[in-house]
Amino acid sequence: MNLSLSLTCNRLKFGLFDSGVGGLSVLIELVQLLNGYEFTNHPEIHYLADTARCPYGTKSDAEIIDYVFQIASWFKQNDVNNLVMACNTSAAIAANKLRIMSDMPVYDLIGLSSNQDLAKYSKIMVLATNATVNSKAFTQALLKQEPNLEIFEIACPELVMLVESGNFDTNDARQILKKYADLAIRQNCQAIILGCTHFPFLTNALVKLLPSNIDIINPAKYLAREISQNLQLANVVNRKGQNCVLKFYTTGNSDQFKLQLKQCLNLAINHVEFIDLNYLEQLSSISNELNSAFINNINVTPKFAVS
Ligand code: DGL
């Protein structure tokens, strides 16, 4: 890894993954950022939706770790050189472990959630999946920066499938979201962190249920800033605007994922490649080897890589 490398003969290849469409909310931020820079080779973004195993948030830690290592191994085989955990559940359970074992930079949003200006808040609510809430990963990250902050982590697994089904700003969505909005109001929270990458698609619905003095925070905004800083360190600072190459993969139904891409991003994609779970699961043996070498609780700051 060499931060001072220019990208003249190198290609940036990002791998993003999520259990489904949630990570597309992260992809938007990354695309907007990368399209603002000039590269000799178009950067590539490869997005894997593990739809066949969605949702992750109700799975055991062992299962989630296994999925994450299979997917990281698969990206590695496909020459990805920067990995973005566009799934907070995966990051909450496996980011530290993956960073130790990975020879490429691994980005996640949870650590970045503390990059915002937290000093103005005394009480914050984090909406996330069961696994993320149980891990307390957000609380730990936020308290590192603001030790006096009061944090409520609330599990709302039903919101994941709501978004998967394309219900963003519908009556159904608002009805389900109302109990979380009311809770935030009752608890006098000044901000809600969207602690699951599916939830930014519900922002419009949520805004309608909240008073204007409660902020909605999408941690993915801070990912772009983090990567942008690394791009500048790598001397890739010309801003001209080139489109990056996008490639999509799913372990579920390709046609269904094409529809979801249209719903979520208004993006018409001709080809979504199907990845057989049997194939991914074969990578388990590699991931088990990596797994057995884990050393827990070591935090490694991601660096930027080009290959
Ligand atoms: N979008 C993911 C997250 O940020 C996963 C949600 C799920 O599959 O339960 O947690």
Domain ranges of the chain: 13-108+222-299, 111-219
Whether residue 196 lies in the annotated active site: yes
Shortest-distance atom of ligand 1 to CA 130: 9
Rounded-to-integer distance, Cα 240 and Cα 130, Å: 42
Q: What is the mean pLDDT of the chain?
A: 86
Q: Quick check: 85 pLDDT over 50?
A: yes
Give the pLDDT score at 6: 28
Cis check: omega of the bond before 200, within 30 degrees of 0: no
pTM of the model as a whole? 0.89
pLDDT tens-digit series, residues 20-62 = 999 999 999 988 888 777 776 778 899 999 999 999 999 999 9
13-108+222-299: which CATH architecture? Answer: 3-Layer(aba) Sandwich (3.40)
Distance between CA atoms of residues 106 and 267, nearest Å: 26
Q: Determine which one of 189, 196, 244, 264 is catalytic.
A: 196
Mean of pLDDT values over 263-289: 85
* Ordered strands of the 272-274 beta sheet: 106-108, 82-85, 13-18, 44-49, 245-250, 272-274
What mean pLDDT do residues 111-123 have? Answer: 80
Predicted local confidence at residue 230, as pLDDT: 75
Over 50: is that where the pLDDT of 299 sits? Answer: no
Residue 4 has pLDDT above 50, yes or no: no
Atom of ligand 1 nearest to the CA of 23: 1
Q: Give, for ligand 1, the residue of 25, 63, 88 to mutate: max count of ligand atoms closer than 8 Å to Cβ.
A: 88
Would 13-108+222-299 and 111-219 be classified into the same CATH topology?
yes
CA of 293 to the centre of ligand 1 (A): 26
Quick one: pLDDT at residue 111? 82
Check pLDDT > 70 for residue 263.
yes
Neighbour count for residue 307 (Cβ, 10 Å):
13
* Residue 245 or residue 231, greater confidence: 245
221 alpha carbon – ligand 1 mean position (Å)? 17
Residue nearest to atom 2 of ligand 1 (CA): 87
Q: Which atom of ligand 1 is nearest to the CA of 92?
A: 10
Q: Which CATH class is domain 111-219?
A: alpha beta
**Given ligand 1 and candidates 63, 197, 218, 223, which is best to mutate, with the most ligand atoms within 8 Å of its CB?**
197
